[in-house]
Chain A
Amino acid sequence: MKKYLTCLIAVLLTLGVFAGCGGNAGGGEKIDPNRTQITVAMKNDPAEKLIMNAFKAAFEEENPDIQIIVETTVGTDYVQTVFNYAVSEFPDILWTSGDYHSTVSAAGKFEDLRPYYDRDIPDWQEKYHPASMSTTKINAADESIWFAPRDFNQLVVFYNKNAFEAAKQLDPSIKDPNDPSYYENGRTGWTWAEFKDTVKKFRALQLAGSKGEALTRNSVAVLGGFTWNVSSYTILRGFGGDVFDEEGNVVMDSANAMRAYNEMIEFVKNNYTTSNNAAFNNKLAAMEFGVRTNVISMEKLNFDVAPFPIMEVPVIGSGCSGYAMSASCEHKEEAWKFLKFIISREGQEIFGQTKASVPCLTELLYDEDAAWRKSTPDINNDAFVARADDALNLNFASEVAPKNQSAVVQEYNNFFFSLNNEKKYQTEEGLASLVSSYMKKIADAANAA
């Protein structure tokens, strides 16, 4: 007896070594042998779980022969997640974002969905917003569709209504970001100059030691997110600058780009903005640059949303996420059926109910009865789709070799971190040296062997 017990303990201890191996497959869901299984992996994020469970429930009801097995990826780093799968096996369907798929797509790990779109979705070019569709490609010359985009996310300005009401009492010249005068005589919203004027007036009230939400001395006018590439690239392009020119040369030292940097520096130096991401939700910023997803975290605020200010070059950063099909998927038709459901009107309406994002199906963007609008009836939903034709693809590194793209984006982000955080770079000489050093770093990253 003692002998057997000893053996059993030894075996159990040995197996214990492997206890931590394996992913979070299926969350314990039972496999039904009479149905075809499609595994879907997504970020371990409550909002994503909510969305996927809603898709799964509706799809399985309509397709009882297909079982959707939902996996959550380990960690939040998308690139690391992809590599974890690459060394083992990709799920049939994997959540992806427009800015990170190129490396994986170029390596042939994702299925090109273009033939499926052409076969099953007539006029798909008109049905889905071109800004969202453009992010599914590796570069401008690429004709493929590497993932099915599910949303249309563009930069907007959230504002604290209580702060604006109080500010208007103290300074009647302050106008609400959705003031009707911004839409008179064919205008389509406030301009950058008008936005900046509002920012300055807010700062004056804050420095005067006013009381109230986002009006105290330690508050700022706007959480600009200048270290976030959606915000920084929109401003860079809005002033006429860019990272690369058409020949692929780094042109971050152009006069227009320098004006964009100096504008950001002015915001930072005068404490118009902050790098603290929680400032708006903590009522320490009157406005915030953000996207639709932010709505979920603003439930305790009395807020509204306005379109992004119109800049010299009228662009608004936009991006999207969606679902890619693995090239090694065994049941491609069933997987496509699920993807087709997600991007159908029914699927997009289910998606809209979650408040998390704006659907990419163009017929729903301006439909007053669309679920995404009804899910947030008290805010200006038009702001999320205002000037949608100005949507700017944020993949500025798309013409760089796919394997070097993430390194270029990393150097770009580092540049804006330094620009916004380091006082020594906020002078004329400092800025010039920073720009020159990062132009070399970005060029080196883009051309890395």
Chain B
Amino acid sequence: MTPAAKREIKKTLIGLGFSLPVIVGILGFTILPMILSLIYSFCDYDVLTPMKFIGLGNYIKMFTPEPYGVWEGFSNSLRITFVYAIISVPMSLILSFLLAVFANRKLRGMAVYRVLFYIPVLIPAVVSALLWSDILDVDFGFINLLMHRFGKEGFTFLSSEDTALTTFILLSLFGIGGNIILWTAQLKNIPETMYEAASLETNNPMYKFLHITIPYSTPMIFYNLIMGIIGSLQVFGGAFLLSGVAPGALDFYVCYIYNQAFSRQSFGMACALSWVLFIIIGIITMLIFKKSGWVQYGEEM
């Protein structure tokens, strides 16, 4: 073996050595659980007793009414999750974009606003959920106590199935600080010369916004759209903690999976539901990629 080949092998081994933690992590904590969950999804498995192979039984049960299947719960959780995704994703996209445009302006004290926008992102979802549940408590919550003081009747917020989802969607907007940071980075990349050139034709800010700012931001719109949809279809922590008071109202798809596993002791069904979610997310992402002709990258402009 030539010294050059030896050096190459050594370099490869060292590279592999340093990559090993990630490789082991992905194999052990992502690929292996995925394979196991796929196997479990074809079994009747409650962890406590030996699993039984039932073929497509769990997948068929999803579309079978109770008590022989889980259609009611499955379809209800899908409905809630899609309603949440359809409303919250565009809302957070538009609001975070507008706030980023505002935060990108060269005004005094703007850094303070940027920090204020980002602070809620630093609070873990679980802590945030507990804080909001206290603030929005029907009887003793800060907001309702204020309303009582002004002679108004308290609002039900998270404790009624009629208002819980709306409240949850509005609460999710407190986490848009992460998006704002990404938008800001994208907006800063728009060449100033574009605006200067446009100024030769018009001083209309809306024209510049529609013809320069938005087209240059489409890669980030595309990224935030995909990540937003995936995130909204996987809502769990906060919803799970806040779901106790209005049964069923915040029964998101992942909460339903958890429920199947730990309340119904049906791990096989939980795994099958997880795979269905994986497929749904895969299809939606693929469709968005296929229809991504509107995204304009720098080199295309």
A residues near B, CB below 8 A?
6-7, 9-10, 13-14, 16-17, 77, 79-80, 82-83, 86-87, 103-104, 107-109, 218, 220, 274-276, 278-279, 284, 403-404, 406-407, 410, 413-415, 417-418, 421-424, 441, 443-449
Contact at A13–B247, with CB atoms within 8 Å?
A: no
> Are A414 and B247 CB-contacts (below 8 A) given A7-B17, A109-B48?
yes
Flag B136-163 by CB within 8 Å of A: 1 or 0 each.
0111100001001000000010011110
Interface residues on B, range: 35 or more
B262 in the interface, Cβ–Cβ < 8 Å? yes
Contact at B138–A421, with CB atoms within 8 Å?
A: yes
* Distance in Å: Cβ of B156 to nearest Cβ of chain A: 8
A448 to B44, CA, bound (A): 13
Query: B38-71: which residues lie under 8 A (CB-CB) from chain A?
Result: 46-49, 61, 66-69
Q: Please give 18 more A-B residue pairs, beta carbons under 8 A apart, in addition to A17-B29, A284-B140.
A: A6-B14, A7-B17, A10-B14, A10-B20, A13-B21, A17-B28, A83-B262, A107-B49, A220-B139, A274-B140, A275-B138, A403-B265, A404-B264, A406-B264, A414-B247, A417-B246, A422-B161, A448-B67
Partner of A407, one of B20, B21, B68, B264: B264
Residue of B nearest to A87 (CB): B47
A275 to B158, CA, bound (A): 13
Residue of A nearest to B48 (CB): A107
A279 to B138, CA, bound (A): 13
A415 to B248, CA, bound (A): 11
Name the A residues within 8 Å of B248 (CB-CB).
Answer: 414
Contact at A424–B162, with CB atoms within 8 Å?
A: yes
A421 to B244, CA, bound (A): 11
> Are A443 and B20 CB-contacts (below 8 A) given A275-B138, A418-B161?
no
Name the A residues within 8 Å of B294 (CB-CB).
Answer: none
Partner of A410, one of B25, B145, B161, B263: B263
Name the B residues within 8 Å of A80 (CB-CB).
Answer: 262
Contact at A86–B262, with CB atoms within 8 Å?
A: no
Contact at B24–A14, with CB atoms within 8 Å?
A: yes
Contact at B48–A422, with CB atoms within 8 Å?
A: no
Partner of A86, one of B28, B47, B159, B244: B47
A82 to B47, CA, bound (A): 10
Contact at A77–B264, with CB atoms within 8 Å?
A: no
Partner of B66, one of A17, A275, A448: A448
* Distance in Å: Cβ of B192 to nearest Cβ of chain A: 44
A272 to B63, CA, bound (A): 44
Number of A-B contacts (CB under 8 A): 111
Name the B residues within 8 Å of A275 (CB-CB).
Answer: 138-139, 159, 245
Contact at B21–A104, with CB atoms within 8 Å?
A: no
Query: B248-298: which residues lie under 8 A (CB-CB) from chain A?
Result: 248, 259, 261-265
Residue of B nearest to A282 (CB): B140
Partner of B46, one of A403, A407, A441: A403
Partner of A421, one of B14, B21, B245: B245
Query: B122-144: which residues lie under 8 A (CB-CB) from chain A?
Result: 137-140
Contact at B140–A279, with CB atoms within 8 Å?
A: yes
Name the B residues within 8 Å of A16 (CB-CB).
Answer: 21
> Are A449 and B262 CB-contacts (below 8 A) given A10-B20, A87-B47, A218-B140?
no
Query: B71-125: which residues lie under 8 A (CB-CB) from chain A?
Result: none
Name the B residues within 8 Å of A284 (CB-CB).
Answer: 140
Interchain residue pairs with CB less than 8 A apart (7): A10-B20, A13-B18, A413-B247, A422-B160, A424-B162, A448-B67, A449-B61
Contact at B264–A448, with CB atoms within 8 Å?
A: yes
Residue of A nearest to B66 (CB): A444
Residue of B nearest to A406 (CB): B263
Name the A residues within 8 Å of B28 (CB-CB).
Answer: 17
Contact at B66–A79, with CB atoms within 8 Å?
A: no
A441 to B46, CA, bound (A): 21
Residue of A nearest to B65 (CB): A444
Flag B19-34 by CB within 8 Å of A: 1 or 0 each.
0110011001100000
Name the A residues within 8 Å of B46 (CB-CB).
Answer: 103, 107, 403
* Distance in Å: Cβ of B7 to nearest Cβ of chain A: 13
Name the B residues within 8 Å of A77 (CB-CB).
Answer: 262
Contact at B139–A276, with CB atoms within 8 Å?
A: yes
A78 to B114, CA, bound (A): 42
Flag B158-193 by CB within 8 Å of A: 1 or 0 each.
011110000000000000000000000000000000
Residue of B nearest to A411 (CB): B247
A9 to B138, CA, bound (A): 54
* Distance in Å: Cβ of B241 to nearest Cβ of chain A: 12
Contact at A10–B140, with CB atoms within 8 Å?
A: no
A129 to B251, CA, bound (A): 40
Residue of A nearest to B26 (CB): A17
> Are A10 and B18 CB-contacts (below 8 A) given A17-B28, A417-B244, A449-B67?
yes
Name the A residues within 8 Å of B48 (CB-CB).
Answer: 82-83, 86, 103-104, 107, 109
Contact at B161–A218, with CB atoms within 8 Å?
A: no
Name the B residues within 8 Å of A107 (CB-CB).
Answer: 46, 48-49
Contact at B21–A14, with CB atoms within 8 Å?
A: yes
Name the A residues within 8 Å of B261 (CB-CB).
Answer: 83
* Distance in Å: Cβ of B187 to nearest Cβ of chain A: 37
Contact at A421–B160, with CB atoms within 8 Å?
A: yes
Contact at B137–A276, with CB atoms within 8 Å?
A: yes
> Are A421 and B162 CB-contacts (below 8 A) given A13-B18, A86-B48, A406-B263?
no
Name the B residues within 8 Å of A424 (CB-CB).
Answer: 162
* Distance in Å: Cβ of B159 to nearest Cβ of chain A: 5
A336 to B47, CA, bound (A): 26
Name the B residues within 8 Å of A443 (CB-CB).
Answer: 67
Name the B residues within 8 Å of A13 (CB-CB).
Answer: 18, 20-21
A418 to B261, CA, bound (A): 23
Name the B residues within 8 Å of A406 (CB-CB).
Answer: 263-265
Which of A16, A220, A407 counts the most B-chain CB atoms under 10 A from its CB? A407
Residue of B nearest to A7 (CB): B17
Which of B61, B245, B247 counts the most A-chain CB atoms under 10 A from its CB? B247
Name the A residues within 8 Å of B156 (CB-CB).
Answer: 421, 423
A323 to B148, CA, bound (A): 47
